[in-house]
Structure 1
Amino acid sequence: MAPILDSSPSNLPERDNYGNNGFVHIKNPHLDHLPEDILYHFDLGTKTHDLPSMFGDVKFVCVGGSPNRMREFAVFIHEELGLDGDSRDITDICAGTDRYSMYKAGPVLSISHGMGIPSISIMLHELIKLLHHAKCRDVTIIRIGTSGGIGIEPGTVVITDTAVDSFFRPQFEQVILDKVVVRNTELHPELAESLLRCSNEINDFPTIIGHTMCTYDFYEGQGRLDGALCSFSKEEKCEYLQRAYGAGVRNIEMESSVFAAMCHLCGLKAAVVCVTLLDRLQGDQITQSHAVLAEYQRRPQKLIAKFMKTQLGLST
């Protein structure tokens, strides 16, 4: 059976692919018939919580794998934006569940998504519904995180233009019922360029725009030689990664394809900004010190803070 293409938000107006009047769109008519929409993995609901009051002012959403890192980011952005109150009082909105963590700092929502496509996909379904129910407008969503680089210096920040699969195709495939559905994985080009300009103004670390390869696995799926299983040679690994580099891939992670696909379909301006912890052409294991890795992980946060302050017209 041939795959079904689902690459554009066909139920949105022709104006553009990124929303009508700035609202977040959902593509599920069945939700209209629910007595309450329970966002189970957030421990939130449309009847139990006043979502517009809680989240209606959100303009930026940043998502990343680690709960601790996303709390640190919320505290960091609270201080960077000069928000009222004590950043130490920021608490987990989703404390009633152990699946994800969510923190709010003024117009910024910071959420953990765990590791891999299934985990971020579940989070995104509920996040997109949350933004829709809260009547948020003109929202920008950015995934920040770490990745393995290909042919670039460790510590380089990669802004993704397109997420590709393990065959270097710009698409995300998902089996829905018994059909293979293929979705577009391009990210918002103007947003990527805006982020690159902000990084150039900071001028503290190298930043590039490139393709990001999204895999379903950390070890064999990324061509690593150090897993419990390995079915290929070192030469085969290097040849594959060289082909990836030739196809425009500059880093590898495990979430970008479904992130790009879902945000595109729902009219969200989205970006992926990941720092590279190593060059996979040089090895598989991360050997940098904790201090160096911590500094690397702050680089996407610094870039996003610069971008937000620019968008909000704050002094930078």
Structure 2
Amino acid sequence: MTMSEYPRFMDVDVDKDITGRITPRDGPVTVRNPHIESLPEDVLYHLDLSDKANDLPAMFGDVKFVCFGGSPNRMKKFAEFMVNEIKYKIPAGLQLMNISHGSDRYVLYKVGPVLSVSHGMGIPSLSIVFHEVLKLLYHANCTDVKMFRLGTSGGLGLEPGTVVITDAAVDGLLRPYMEVATLGMVLQHPAFLDKELCEEILEIANQNEGYNSVIGKTMCTYDFYEGQARLDGAFCDFTAEDKMAFLKRIHDRGVKNIEMESLCFAAMAHRAAVKSAIICCTIVDRLKSDQITATHDTLEEWQMRPQKIIAQYIRKQMGLD
């Protein structure tokens, strides 16, 4: 069989520009795996769901917004926050629950058309849950879905508390693609995001007068310490001068912030042609310090900034504002 025999697969209905860049679009959520339909059962192991054991269209068919964040507790709080933001009425006698409670890997909460999902820390953890959430949406016959990563990051030349909306994700060598070793080959998957969606979110973010919001490039690394040029890890093979020269160089090349998931999120959303955006609040200016010194209450308030922006976007899309 060839990919052309699978009309729901992206290689058939996807639009590309002259550079080969996939155009994100509305419509049915698709996958790029011709083997899925031949599986007797597609077990979404890390979400504790299955296309046979669960009625995924009934459970998730109305999903329009998927919000990812690193911490299980943070995404539980986000789900609780969204209950009030979109005036969602939980049926009498029930309560908001972690749908993936049978697995201890991730949490998954549903608030009307909104999914709140934890992705853990780093590319490998995000990659696993993104695969399974995308397949969940596919099996549920979802359409017109938008995906968001909400989180924190280290800033470069920005006041802590600044919100960065990513317009391009790059790796530690400033390359705009994610490399994946597949069958002994290194495949490069471009990490592009939806420009129009980013600009929509910036417009909403700029309505918040208490802090600054910017669009910029995000560098994604494979670890928290050496990959991010920190001096405070257990290992360090460079000087303070080396560190500052590197951070200033990438800042001069447009990098606004550094984190550990954006490259994977952007690359996988691009392959799926799903409209997506990354919104992170900076919690330290790496040109000044490696250590995070803000108080717990301040960090909590900063972490809520991307969530409030996306809540406002979702309300607008739902016609609630």
Equivalent position of 2:211 in the other structure? 205
Shift of the 86–250 alpha-carbon distance from structure 1 to 2, 3 Å rule, reads farther
Aligned equivalents of 2:59 and 2:210: distance in 1? 36
8 A contact 1:70–1:110 mirrored in 2 = yes
Percent identity between matched residues is 53
1:110 to 2:116 alignment: yes
Matching residue of 1:124: 130
Residue 195 of structure 2 is matched in structure 1 by 189
DSSP-derived class of the 1:202 partner? coil
Does structure 2 conserve the Cα–Cα contact (< 8 Å) formed by 1:163 and 1:170? yes
Cα deviation for residue 95 of structure 1 reads: 0.2
Hey, what's the Cα distance between the residues in 1 that align with 2:242 and 2:300? 32
Partner Cα distance (2:181, 2:23) in 1? 24
Structure 2 unaligned blocks of 5 or more: 1-9, 17-21
Determine whether 1:36 maps to 2:41: yes
Q: How far apart are 1:202 and its partner, in Å?
A: 2.8
Report the TM-score when normalising by structure 2.
0.93
Which residue does the alignment assign to 1:75?
Answer: 80
Equivalent residue in structure 1 for 2:50, among 45, 48, 69: 45
Give the equivalent residue in structure 2 for 1:14.
Answer: 15
Aligned partner of 2:299 in structure 1 is: 293
SS at match of 1:152: coil
Q: Does the CA-based 8 Å contact 2:269-2:276 persist in structure 1? A: yes
Matching of residues 86-235 of structure 1 within 5 Å: 89-235=95-241
Of residues 261, 264, 273, the one that matches 2:270 is 264
SS at match of 2:227: helix
Deviation at 1:10, TM superposition (A): 4.1
1:252 maps to amino acid? I
- 1:14 Cα deviation from its structure 2 partner: 3.1
Normalised TM-score (structure 1) = 0.94
Q: Which amino acid aligns with 2:13?
A: L
Deviations 1:5-56 (A, max 9, x none): xxxx64433387224x611110001111100100000010011000000000
Q: Does 1:310 align with 2:316?
A: yes
**Would the aligned equivalents of 1:205 and 1:299 in 2 still touch at CA under 8 Å?**
no
Show structure 1 runs of 4+ deviating over 6 A: none
Instruction: Give, in whole Å, the separation in 1 of the partners of 2:13 and 2:105.
Output: 32
